[in-house]
Structure 1
Amino acid sequence: MRTFLLSATVAVSCLAASAASAQTLRIALASEPTAVDPHYHDLTPNNALAQHIFESLVSQDEQQKLLPGLAASWENDGKNRWTFKLRQGVTFSNGKPFTAQDVIFTFCRTLKNETKVSDSFADITGNFASVTSPDPQTLVIETIAPEPLLPNLLSGLGILSASIVEHGTITYDIAKNCGVTGPWPTVTGFNDGSLAIGTGPYKLKSYVRGSAIELERNPTYWGKAEPWATVRLLPVTNAGPRLAGLLAGDYDVIENPAARDLGRIKGDKRFDHVITPSTRVIYFQLDVARDQSPFVKAEDGKNPLKDVRVRQAMSLAIDRDAIVKRIMDGAAEPAYQFLPTGMFGTQANPQKLAYDPAQAKKLLAEAGYPKGFQVTLSTTNDRYINDSQITQAVAQYLTQVGIKAEVDAMTRAIYFPRRAKKEFSVAIGGWGSATGEAASFLRQWPPTPNETKTLGGSNYGGYKNDKFDAVIREAVTTLDDAKRATLLQEAGKLVLADYAFIPLHFESGIWAFKSELDLKGRADQFMLAMSVKPKAK
Structure 2
Amino acid sequence: MSIMTRSLRAALLGCALLSPLAAAQAEPLSLAVSAPPASIDPHYYTLTPSIQLSAHMFEPLTQRDENARVRPALAESWKLVDDTTWEFKLRPGVKFHNGADFTAEDVAFTLKRVPWVQSPSSFAVYTRAITDVQVVDAYTVRFKTAAPYPLLPNDLANVFMVSRGIGENTPSADFNSGKAAIGTGPFKFVSYEPNNRVEMARNETYWGEKPAWDKVQYRIITNSGARVAALLSGDVAMIDNVPTADVAKIRNNDKVTVAEGTSLRLIFLGLDVFRDGPTPDVRGPNGEELTKNPLQDKRVREALSIAINRPAIVQRIMENVAVPAGQFMPEGSFGYNPAIPVPKFDADRAKKLLAEAGYPNGLSITLRGPNDRYINDSQVQQVIAQMWARIGIKTQVEATPLATLIGRLNRFDASAYMLGWSNSTGEPSTSLRAVMGTRAQGGGGSLGLSNYGRYVNPEMDALAEKALSTLDDKTREKMMQDAMKMAMDDVAIIPLHTQKSVWATRRGLTYTPRLDEQTLAAEVRPAR
Q: TM-score, normalised by structure 2?
A: 0.93
Moved more, 311-320 or 450-459: 450-459
Alignment CA distance shift 1:358-1:456 (3 Å): same
- Of 187, 190, 206, the residue aligned with 2:175 is 190
Tell me how far apart the structure 2 counterparts of residues 274 and 151 of structure 1 sit (CA, whole Å).
29
Task: Tell me if structure 2 keeps the 8 A contact 1:28–1:235.
Answer: yes
Kindly provide the amino acid, as one letter, of the partner of residue 521 in structure 2.
A
1:403 aligned residue (375, 393, 397): 393
1:158 correspondence with 2:143: no
C-alpha distance in 2 between matches for 1:419 and 1:38: 22
Separation in 1, partners of 2:492, 2:382: 20
Matched-pair contact (CA < 8 Å) for 1:149–1:435 = no
**Cα separation, 2, equivalents of 1:56 and 1:63:** 17
Tell whether the 8 Å contact from 1:128 to 1:144 is kept in structure 2 after alignment: yes
What's the RMSD between the two structures over aligned residues? 1.6
Aligned to 2:94: 90
User: Is it true that 1:75 corresponds to 2:79 in the alignment?
Assistant: yes
Q: Secondary structure at the residue paired with 1:375? A: strand
Three-state SS of the structure 2 residue aligned to 1:265 is: helix
Residue in structure 1 matching 2:525, options 513, 528, 533: 533
Any idea what the Cα deviations from partners look like across 1:160-195, whole Å, max 9, x if unmatched?
A: 001011xxxxxxxxxxxxxx4xxx111111111111
- Tell me, in whole angstroms, the C-alpha distance in 2 between the residues paired with 1:34 and 1:502: 26
Instruction: Give the partner amino acid of 1:278.
Output: S
Q: Deviations over 1:279-318 (max 9, x none)?
A: 1111011100112212122344321111100000000110
Q: 2:327 aligns with which of 337, 344, 347?
A: 337
Moved more, 437-446 or 397-406: 437-446
What is the CA–CA distance in structure 1 between the aligned matches of 2:425 and 2:21, rounded to whole Å?
Answer: 37
Structure 2 contact 388–394 (Cα < 8 Å) conserved: yes
**CA distance in structure 2 between the aligned counterparts of 1:275 and 1:18, rounded to whole angstroms:** 27
In structure 2, the residue matched to 1:523 is 515
Matches within 5 A, 1:82-481: 82-114=86-118, 116-118=119-121, 120-165=122-167, 180=168, 184-290=169-275, 291-298=277-284, 299=288, 300-449=290-439, 453-481=445-473
CA distance in 1, matches of 2:376, 2:61: 34
Counterpart Cα distance in 1 of 2:273 and 2:253 = 50
Which amino acid in 1 is paired with 2:479?
L
In 2: Cα distance, 1:483 partner to 1:145 partner: 16
CA contact (8 A) 2:21 2:526 kept: no
The 2-side partners of 1:485 and 1:17 are apart by: 43
Structure 1 residue 43: Cα displacement: 0.6
Distance apart, 1:358 and its partner CA = 0.8
Could you tell me which of 17, 37, 41 is aligned with 2:41? 37
CA separation in 1, counterparts of 2:318 and 2:214? 35
Q: Deviations over 1:79-98 (max 9, x none)?
A: 11100000100110011110
Structure 1 residue 222 displacement after superposition: 1.5
Residue type of the alignment partner of 1:117 = P
Residue 226 of structure 1, CA deviation: 0.9
Question: 2 CA distance for matches of 1:500 and 1:396?
Answer: 22
Look up the SS of the partner of 1:77 in the other structure.
strand
How far has the Cα of 1:15 moved from its partner? Answer: 5.7
1:427/1:449 Cα in 2 relative to 1: closer, same or farther (>3 Å)? Answer: same
The one-letter amino acid of 2:478's match is T
Give the Å deviation of 1:78. 4.9
Alignment equivalent of 1:499, drawn from 484, 491, 503: 491
Task: Give the equivalent residue in structure 2 for 1:48.
Answer: 52
**Structure 2 equivalent of residue 508 of structure 1:** 500
Instruction: Encode CA deviations 1:300-356: one digit per residue, 9 max, x unaligned.
Output: 432111110000000011010011001111011000111112222221243230111
- Equivalent residue number for residue 487 of structure 1: 479
Whether the 8 Å contact between 1:343 and 1:438 is mirrored in structure 2 is: no
Q: Which shows bigger deviation, 373-382 or 502-511?
A: 373-382
**3-state SS, counterpart of residue 493 of structure 1:** helix
| Distance across 1 between alignment mates of 2:478 and 2:451 | 23
Q: Are the equivalent residues in 2 in contact too, given 1:207–1:214 (CA < 8 A)?
A: yes
2:20 alignment partner, SS class: coil
Q: Confirm or deny: 8 A CA contact 2:186 2:210 kept in the other structure.
A: yes
Tell me the residue number matched to 2:9: none
- 1:508 Cα deviation from its structure 2 partner: 0.5
User: Aligned partners of 1:333, 1:209: CA distance in 2, in Å?
Assistant: 33
Q: Which amino acid aligns with 2:456?
A: K
Q: Quote the offset at 1:207 in angstroms.
A: 0.7
Q: Distance in 1 between matches of 2:328 and 2:21?
A: 45
The structure-2 alpha-carbon separation of the partners of 1:194 and 1:391, relative to structure 1 and needing over 3 Å to count, comes to same
Paired residue type of 1:444? A
User: 1:99-143 CA deviation, whole Å, 9 max, x = no partner?
Assistant: 1111111111112113x213x111222222110111010010001
Q: Distance in 2 between matches of 1:71 and 1:16?
A: 32
Shift of 1:500: 2.4
**One-letter code of the match for 1:218?**
N
Contact 2:211 2:523 in 1 (8 A): no
Matched-pair contact (CA < 8 Å) for 1:56–1:69: yes
- d(CA) in 1 for partners of 2:86 and 2:44? 26
Contact 2:127 2:155 in 1 (8 A): no
Amino acid at match of 2:220: P
Which stretch has the larger CA shift, 325-334 or 373-382? 373-382
Deviations, residues 6-27 of structure 1 (Å, cap 9, x unaligned):
xxxxxxxx96253321211111
Structure 1's unaligned 5+ residue stretches are 1-13, 166-179
2:331 alignment partner, SS class: coil
SS in structure 1 opposite 2:432?
helix
CA 1:109–1:84 in structure 2 vs 1: closer, same or farther (change >3 Å)? same
Normalised TM-score (structure 1): 0.91
Which residue matches 1:176? none
Q: Distance in 2 between matches of 1:87 and 1:533?
A: 25
**Counterpart Cα distance in 2 of 1:368 and 1:126:** 42
Q: Number of residues paired by the alignment?
A: 504
| Amino acid of the structure 1 residue aligned with 2:396 | E
In the TM superposition, structure 1's runs of 4+ consecutive aligned residues that sit over 6 Å from their partners are none
- Which has the larger displacement, 244-253 or 122-131? 122-131
